[in-house]
Structure 1
Amino acid sequence: MCGHCFLDPPLVTHTHVGLLFQASIKELLHDFKFKASPRAGMLLIELMLASIPDDPGTALVAVPMHRKRARERGFNQAQWLAEQLAKRTGLVVLEAQCNKLVASQRSLNRHERAANLHGAFSIKAPLPAHITLVDDVITTGATINALANAAQQAGATRIDSWAVARTPLGRQ
């Protein structure tokens, strides 16, 4: 846990991330996310499955993408990851919605990211008590925390997260 999480605890109970977002993992994630490389995506899934959370709950919820951004990119990488993980683990994927076209998070600091995502996500269907949120990279945790807020409102009482990689501490 970083110092920010000690001062302002996130809504997630446990975050499971096996890799650092640097060097070859960073290149692999960029190929997957921005070039829609299926080969890179399948390798990322294998890397995620090499370290499965001890208790992922009963369902996965992918970080949703606004439909305009999904059209531009061609796919939602978090949704694709969640669907592949579900096929391999037997978990179900439940839907969340992104209701707000947010600015890119890449150039924003921790506080700007949280403000940018305020009210961005919703979940219409009631959720089971224990779920796991899925994303590709965790930097400050703002995206996961914003989605966890929507998950709490939809009835989840234990919310975990699972991502391919995290930004090394000190680079958020």
Structure 2
Amino acid sequence: MISACHQCGEPIPPRSDDIQLCRHCQQSPPAFDRTHAAFAYTFPINQLIPAIKYNRRPEALGWLSLVFAQMLEDRIDSPPELLLPVPLHPWRALKRGFNQAGLIAGELGRHLRLPVHQGLIRKRRATASQAGLDRSTRSANLFGSFRLTGTIPAHVALIDDVMTTGSTAQELARLLKGAGAQRVEVWVLARTPTKG
């Protein structure tokens, strides 16, 4: 992404001043501190990621993750102590055959030489698919659906495939900060631009 909000990754027009936050983050800052997105969730990425997830083609995540890792090498000043993939509920992971966030985290960890913990965050209950839900419905859908299984370091990065409204990242950042994290970054392959 060429120009994006530093906090939520929302694509924004380039600015001549130092303010690199979207209007939403200026008015209501999220619990997470920074977002890095490799791509805007537009064509062809908005066709490729669903094809990977729903047609069981996880091998394509390798090259997308490599591009993302190379981008991150130039962007991150202070690397996180731990990469944490956004979990799927166990039955959804079993049905799909993989957790795309876990595969992305594994590739990023390997390329960037950062530790990954696949099981530190667990999805405690199945929730309705977030696709097609608005921001408030997404937040309500996720409330209380995650739990932690261990100690959280001070600086972590949440890894996911797509960020749409930021509701998942918000819920997880609140949980992580409540457990002692001081800085929570969000690293996603793609960020959905706001419609309108």
- Relative to the length of structure 2, the TM-score reads 0.82
The one-letter code of the counterpart of 1:29 is I
Which has more helix, going by share of residues?
1
The one-letter code of the counterpart of 1:98 is K
Indicate the residue corresponding to 1:69 in structure 2.
92
Q: Quick check: 1:13 aligned with 2:33?
A: yes
Indicate the residue corresponding to 1:97 in structure 2.
122
Aligned to 1:115, which of 135, 140, 147? 140
* Alignment partners' CA distance in 1, 2:66 and 2:26: 31
Indicate the residue corresponding to 2:68 in structure 1.
48
Q: Quick check: 1:84 aligned with 2:107?
A: yes
When structure 1 is superposed on structure 2, of 156-165 and 55-64 the one drifting more is 55-64
For residues 27-82 of structure 1, the C-alpha deviation after alignment (integer angstroms, 9 at most, x for no partner) is 22122211221442112112211310413311101101100111111111001110
* Alignment partners' CA distance in 2, 1:31 and 1:40: 10
* Alignment partners' CA distance in 2, 1:37 and 1:89: 23
Question: Does the 8 A contact of 1:31 with 1:40 survive in 2?
Answer: no
Q: Quick check: 1:150 aligned with 2:175?
A: yes
Q: Quick check: 1:23 aligned with 2:43?
A: yes
Deviation, structure 1 residue 170: 2.2
In our comparison, the structure showing a higher alpha carbon Rg is 2
* Alignment partners' CA distance in 2, 1:7 and 1:111: 16
Question: Does the 8 A contact of 2:154 with 2:180 survive in 1?
Answer: yes
Deviation, structure 1 residue 3: 3.0
The one-letter code of the counterpart of 2:70 is A
Moved over 6 A (4+): none
Classify the secondary structure of the residue corresponding to 1:23: coil
The one-letter code of the counterpart of 2:80 is G
Question: Does the 8 A contact of 2:88 with 2:123 survive in 1?
Answer: yes
* 1:157-168 alignment runs, 5 A limit: 157-168=182-193
Question: Does the 8 A contact of 1:125 with 1:154 survive in 2?
Answer: no
* Alignment partners' CA distance in 2, 1:73 and 1:62: 16
When structure 1 is superposed on structure 2, of 26-35 and 155-164 the one drifting more is 26-35
Identity of aligned residues (%): 37
Q: Quick check: 1:139 aligned with 2:157?
A: no
Q: Which has the higher contact order (CA 8 A, sep 6+)?
A: 1
Unaligned runs of 5+ in 1: none
Unaligned runs of 5+ in 2: 6-21
Q: Quick check: 1:57 aligned with 2:77?
A: no
